[in-house]
Amino acid sequence: MSTVTTSLSDSPMPRRGAAADQAPLEPRLTRAWLLGIVGSLLLIASAFLPWTYDPALLGNVTIVGYPAPVQLMAIALGLLALFMTLVRKGPLARLGRHLGSPSGLKRLGIGSLVFMLLVLVGVATSDPALLAAADPGLWIGIVGALLVAAAGFLLPVRKVRSEPHQRFAGWVEILVIVALVALVLFGAAYGLGIEDAWVFVLFLTFVFAIGAGLAGGGFFAWLSIVAAHHSRVLLLATFLAAFAFPFTQGGSNANMSIATQVIIFAATAIGLNIVVGLAGLLDLGYIAFLGAGAYVAATMSESTFATIGWHPPFLVVVLIGACFSAVLGLIIGSPTLRVSGDYLAIVTLAFGEIFRLAMNNLDGAHGPNITRGPNGIPAIPDLEFFGFNFGDTHNLLGVDIPRFANYYFLLLLLLGLITLVFSRLNDSRIGRGWIAIREDEKAAEAMGVNVFGLKLLAFAGGAFLAGLAGTVKAHHDQSVTPDQYQFLESAFLLAAVVLGGMGTIGGVLLGAVVLKLLPEKLRFFSEYRLLMFGLLLVLMMRFRPEGLVANKRHQLEFHEDDEELADEIEHVHVEKVS
């Protein structure tokens, strides 16, 4: 094991007088340490006791000594809380110097408390008499989570700068990456298979609590360094896990339908990320480019209702649809990209509505019969490559691969291509020009950057990627209608970019998963789904405006006064360079 030092100023030696400052904090640290241990043990112990008397609730949490999946989540929260407590004092205290801020335990404690309170709400829905519905095990878990949160608040703030992140042997770091990717695969398969709405909400809360605790403890900062050193291993493990996902669904066509919709949404959002995340251009009509690619594929398909008599191979259709969308981007961008800010947003919003209305009017009565108006183009046949029909169920390695799983593999390849294009553009001279325009357009122009040309390229490039996704979406949905491409869809795409983290790939993928998966799994809340979505955005803008997965430099712009974050970014930057 080795650590990478940064500079003399980053030495773990305390500053002058630091020992005297830290001495009064020792009793407070001891109290927090004891509270954390007791709370963690209570949280773990509660999972082996019944939480309610009704076996129909939350997957049967009534059996003593046999934890249900929801109770296993409480055990995981307790074990992580116990570990994060022990590294603050005692034999494991050496690890605490490499785990960053003590806020990790506080965040984990708050998340655990929210988790247990949501369990209480879920149990109470069966019986208005709250005290009668919950068994002692649930109350013990709530007390334990409360003690963990209190321990997090009692932990003294570190007065000296944290040490550089610990590095381990290469095989250990690779093993951690593989295990983490496998854990994500298992979590995605389990979450998609949850049918109980309350259990799904608790699972999401559990994931966010674990993520918040690990982020506060510096795990993700360490992981970013390890990922930079083993980027090929991470990329290979991620794609292998993604390709293995259909084999975990037991031939479920419904779950794979949700997964394919998520990938289409994510691929389109990455294209929008070029326009919004890199170039800083607010586009509120981006869904029109996805629709343009879909309509090209539909009109050139072998559907009985197709209005164009030419049926070229699908690969040719893909290029035509992507280029057509790019041309639309050039047409709308040439006269409008000379304005910016609110004016650009209004113009792009109008373009999205113009596209939808034009598709409605190209019905043969108000214009040429190209799109069949509001009726759209249904009965689009499934794709077929070299005798392989995507609409049939195939058996691979003893597992049934249904229709949507076939499209899942195709869309995964498309997503990989779009991700590659985005990453290459981001790291290129063009990408740096886009970022310069986003940060300060006037300064970029003064430094010789071709502002208008790069903005136009961003618009056309993003439209091209959306057109690619649209051509596959037409065959996946088997129909194309104008009402699929409303303004609300553009708003959701923009929200995925902002929520996940502008300018990042992982952030946009995570944002797309959250915004596409939640409405599908939370149908239990019916009309309250949009309210929950709006609440989520408000909380994100308040507590994490940089997004779920943000670029560290971009994150610092939102937290200029956070000295600890500045130190962490400096450590990460120097260690990556080393």
Label residue 131 by pLDDT band (50, 70, 90): low
What integer is the mean pLDDT of 496-522? 82
Nearest-angstrom CA–CA distance, 549 and 288: 27
- Tokens in use for 235? 């990329």
> How far is CA 342 from each of CA 168, 283, 420, 423, rounded to the nearest angstrom?
49, 10, 31, 28
What integer is the mean pLDDT of 100-106? 73
Label residue 287 by pLDDT band (50, 70, 90): very high
Least confident of 178-187, 248-257, 538-547: 538-547
What integer is the mean pLDDT of 268-290? 90
pLDDT at 553 over 70: no
Nearest-angstrom CA–CA distance, 524 and 203: 15
The gap between the terminal CA atoms of the chain, to the nearest Å, is: 15
- Look up tokens 């214009």; give the residue: 367
* 39 touches 150 (CB < 8 A): yes
Nearest-angstrom CA–CA distance, 126 and 57: 8
Mean pLDDT of the chain: 82
pLDDT at 16: 43
pLDDT at 464 over 70: yes
In sequence order, the β-bridge partners of residue 52 are: 134
Nearest-angstrom CA–CA distance, 537 and 514: 12
pLDDT at 345: 86
pLDDT at 12: 43
What integer is the mean pLDDT of 260-275? 91
Number of other CB atoms surrounding residue 128 within 10 Å: 8
Label residue 8 by pLDDT band (50, 70, 90): very low
What integer is the mean pLDDT of 401-409? 90
pLDDT at 359: 92
Label residue 219 by pLDDT band (50, 70, 90): confident
**What percentage of the chain's residues is helix, strand, coil (to nearest 5)?**
70, 5, 25
pLDDT at 24: 58
For the chain, percent of residues with pLDDT exceeding 90: 28
pLDDT at 322 over 90: yes
Label residue 227 by pLDDT band (50, 70, 90): confident
* 106 touches 157 (CB < 8 A): no
pLDDT at 32 over 70: yes
Residues 6+ apart with CB under 8 A from 570: 6, 10
Look at residue 302 and give its three-state secondary structure: coil
Residue 276: which of 450, 500, 473 has the closest Cα? 500
pLDDT at 571 over 60: no
Topology classification of domain 249-547: ABC transporter involved in vitamin B12 uptake, BtuC (1.10.3470)
Find the DSSP H helices in 478-504. Answer: 487-500
pLDDT in tens, 171-192: 788 888 888 888 888 888 888 8
What integer is the mean pLDDT of 106-126? 88
Number of other CB atoms surrounding residue 147 within 10 Å: 24
What's the residue count for the chain?
Answer: 578
Least confident of 211-225, 364-378, 421-435, 513-527: 513-527
Nearest-angstrom CA–CA distance, 102 and 577: 26
Label residue 522 by pLDDT band (50, 70, 90): confident
Report the amino acid identity of residue 390. Answer: F
In 174-314, the DSSP E strands lie at none
* 476 touches 294 (CB < 8 A): no
For the chain, percent of residues with pLDDT exceeding 70: 84
Q: What is the pTM of this model?
A: 0.81
pLDDT at 95: 63
Least confident of 64-68, 116-120, 336-340, 372-376: 336-340
- Tokens in use for 562? 């956070």
Report the amino acid identity of residue 157. Answer: V
What are the domain boundaries of the chain? 26-242, 249-547
